[in-house]
Structure 1
């Protein structure tokens, strides 16, 4: 079950890196002082990536929990 735990940790790390990238992109957009419509468009493009990253991190944590329970 060690492989399942480490795989889950790796998947979680990938998801967290995606979330960090989304945070950085949103902060950069805020610094650019875009118009309201441009800001909505930029954040609208980030939202699916943010949700996908969150889902990937959640799946990774589930894998870790399953690995711990089965160990």
Structure 2
């Protein structure tokens, strides 16, 4: 079960890193002074990436919890 904990930890860390990327991308897009339609398109793409990162992070944390409970 230790492998499940390690895999889950890796997934959670990848998810957190992608979440940090999303924060950076949103801030840089806002500071770029883009027109509203271009800014909206960039932020919609960031939202999709953000949701995927949250899913990966939650799956990783669930794997860690299952590994801890079974181990």
Q: TM-score range by the shorter chain?
A: over 0.9
Q: What residue in structure 1 maps to residue 37 of structure 2?
A: 37
Moved over 6 A (4+): none
Q: What residue in structure 2 maps to residue 46 of structure 1?
A: 46
Unmatched tracts of structure 1, length 5 or more = none
- Structure 1 residue 9, shift from structure 2 partner: 0.3
Root-mean-square deviation (Å): 0.8
Unmatched tracts of structure 2, length 5 or more = none
TM-score (norm 1): 0.94
Distance in 2 (CA, whole Å) between partners of 1:46 and 1:30 is 12
